[in-house]
Amino acid sequence: MGADELKTVIRERAQAFGFSLCHVTRPEVDQKHVDALQQWSDEGLQGDMGWMAEAVRLERRKNPATMLDGVKSVISVAMLYTPPDYSQAEADSRKSSGVITAYAHGDDYHEIMKKRLKGLAAELDVMLGKHDQRVFVDTAPVLEHALAERAGLGWQGKHTLTIHKQHGSWFLLGEIFTTAEIEPDQRADNHCGSCSACIDLCPTQAIIAPYVVDARRCISYLTIEFDGFIPDALRTLMGNRIYGCDDCQLVCPWNGHAAKGEGIDVDYLMPKGENNLADLASLLLLDEEAFRIRFRRSPIKRTKRRGLLRNVCIAMGNSGVAAFVPGLLNVLNDQESLIRGHAAWALARLCDQQSCEMVLSALRLQLEKESDPAVMQELTSAIKDIKELL
């Protein structure tokens, strides 16, 4: 079998496993990506994701060959997911709803993609003869966007996501590292040009330069990876985004004409209705068991209940909907400090002339029995803000 014929067969098998794009490269990344990664880490732009700055993991990202002894080829694949069926302006107007990033509208892609990559790898063993192989989906120290660009799958956009001419950026990446030698594809060209739409529109100005994201300001990081009290200055900028953010993708011109709905796995990655502009009031009612049941197959389980409800409290505080006040009062003494503290912040923003005295009384009562210093600070600040309104 010739090199071109072999890759055609590999791509056909990849498509059979649900991967719409499949390209090959050597286990190397371009120097520009190596230098950018080091500078990003040196400047501390990874926030609390300390593992991103660990010396061993940094070196592995810079040198993919360290991920598998004798690796000769990296197969980069992409699985499509459904873009939102609403604009961000429409989502912003739904004051009682929370926005969840589109890839999390369906089941957890990590589990789906890894299982299918292993199936594809097993077929490659039959096709190419037994070879050592490892599969990765997002969680390993792999510079996946740089490898995808080198493989010709797409180019890395100024928002740092990979963009494909036909599919835009609405896809998820995975890799097979193999000791089999497969002819590499040609590197992808960059087609962002002078466009700066993603940079200009970012709600928190987290894209601090083309191809550079400050995770500490990124809504996706804040709502998913960050496990602490979100800085006050960023809370109001988050709007009603409660798990991730798609703004930089929604505004990208390449997504304006991306093929929508083609190649989507209808069984797993198609949106579940309850996660599409989710009802904030219902989410705030979730206890630990209800959270576990609702999100057991969803990537949203990563935030745990405390993280998601923290985000819900912020969205409520930004909504201007006074009807959320009773629900927020109910979680003011929640067992999780993150929820208590952000509920206090939200209450100070929502109470009106009719409810402020009641809210003020509840905040003072909670402050008397509160033991967490961070929550005490939130309560004190909320009480001060309300007193200034009265």
CA–CA dist 32, 160 (Å, integer):
13
* Mean pLDDT in residue range 65-80: 97
Q: Is residue 350 part of a domain?
A: yes
DSSP single-letter state for residue 225: I
Residues 269, 328 share a domain: no
Residues 230, 290 share a domain: no
Is the model's pLDDT at 204 over the cut of 90?
A: yes
Residues 260, 291 share a domain: no
- In tens, the pLDDT along 11-53 reads 999 999 999 999 999 999 999 999 999 999 999 999 999 888 8
Residues 188, 226 share a domain: yes
Residues 291, 242 share a domain: no
Confidence category of residue 263, pLDDT binned at 50, 70, 90: low
Confidence category of residue 267, pLDDT binned at 50, 70, 90: low
Of the three residues 276, 310, 329, the one that is the final residue of a domain is 276
CA–CA dist 135, 99 (Å, integer):
31
Amino acid present at 299: P
pLDDT of residue 333: 95
* Mean pLDDT in residue range 297-315: 97
Q: Which residues pair with 99 in a beta bridge?
A: 241
CA–CA dist 81, 261 (Å, integer):
8
Q: Which of 138, 185, 279, 385 is catalytic?
A: 138
Confidence category of residue 268, pLDDT binned at 50, 70, 90: low
* Mean pLDDT in residue range 105-114: 91
Contact 372, 334 (CB under 8 A): no
Q: Is residue 312 part of a domain?
A: no
* Mean pLDDT in residue range 347-374: 95
Residue 58, both tokens? 């940094």
Residue range(s) defining the domain that contains residue 272: 3-276
Rg of the chain over Cα atoms, rounded to whole angstroms, equals 23
Is the model's pLDDT at 322 over the cut of 80?
A: yes
- In tens, the pLDDT along 163-176 reads 999 999 999 999 99
Residues 210, 326 share a domain: no
State the DSSP string of 139-193: SSS--HHHHHHHHTS-EE-TTSSEEBTTTBT-EEEEEEEESS--PPPPPPPP--T
Contact 325, 350 (CB under 8 A): yes
Residue 249, both tokens? 């993708």
Q: Is residue 224 part of a domain?
A: yes
Number of structural domains the chain divides into: 2
Tell me the helices (H) and strands (E) count for the chain, helix number first. Answer: 18, 11
Is the model's pLDDT at 79 over the cut of 90?
A: yes
Residues 293, 153 share a domain: no
Whose tokens are 């956009």? That residue is 157
Q: Is residue 84 part of a domain?
A: yes
Q: Cα dist. 161→26, 167, 260 in Å?
A: 20, 13, 18
Q: Cα dist. 230→105, 115, 223, 224, 307 in Å?
A: 24, 35, 9, 11, 10
Closest Cα partner for 312 from 278, 346, 290, 280?
Answer: 280
Of the three residues 246, 276, 306, the one that is the final residue of a domain is 276
Residues 200, 292 share a domain: no
The β-bridge relationship of strands 241-243 and 97-100 is: parallel
Residues 31, 86 share a domain: yes
Tell me the torsion sign for CA atoms 340, 277, 302, 59.
negative
Is the model's pLDDT at 191 over the cut of 80?
A: yes
Q: Is residue 310 part of a domain?
A: no
CA–CA dist 32, 99 (Å, integer):
34
Residue 324, both tokens? 């959320």
Residues 114, 16 share a domain: yes
Q: Is residue 311 part of a domain?
A: no
- In tens, the pLDDT along 209-252 reads 999 999 999 999 999 999 999 999 999 999 999 999 999 999 99
Of the three residues 210, 242, 276, the one that is the final residue of a domain is 276
State the DSSP string of 180-202: S--PPPPPPPP--TT--HHHHH-
Residues 184, 153 share a domain: yes
Residues 35, 98 share a domain: yes
pTM assigned to the model:
0.94
How crowded is residue 43: how many other Cβ atoms within 10 Å of its Cβ?
11
Q: Cα dist. 174→153, 156, 263, 309, 343 in Å?
A: 11, 15, 16, 30, 38
pLDDT of residue 266: 47
Q: Which residues, other chains included, contact 35 with Cβ-Cβ below 8 Å and sequence gap of 6+?
A: none
Q: Is residue 88 part of a domain?
A: yes
Catalytic residue flag (residue 200) = no
CA–CA dist 322, 95 (Å, integer):
11
How crowded is residue 323: how many other Cβ atoms within 10 Å of its Cβ?
12
Q: Is residue 313 part of a domain?
A: no
pLDDT of residue 262: 58
Element holding 119 (H helix, E strand): helix 109-128
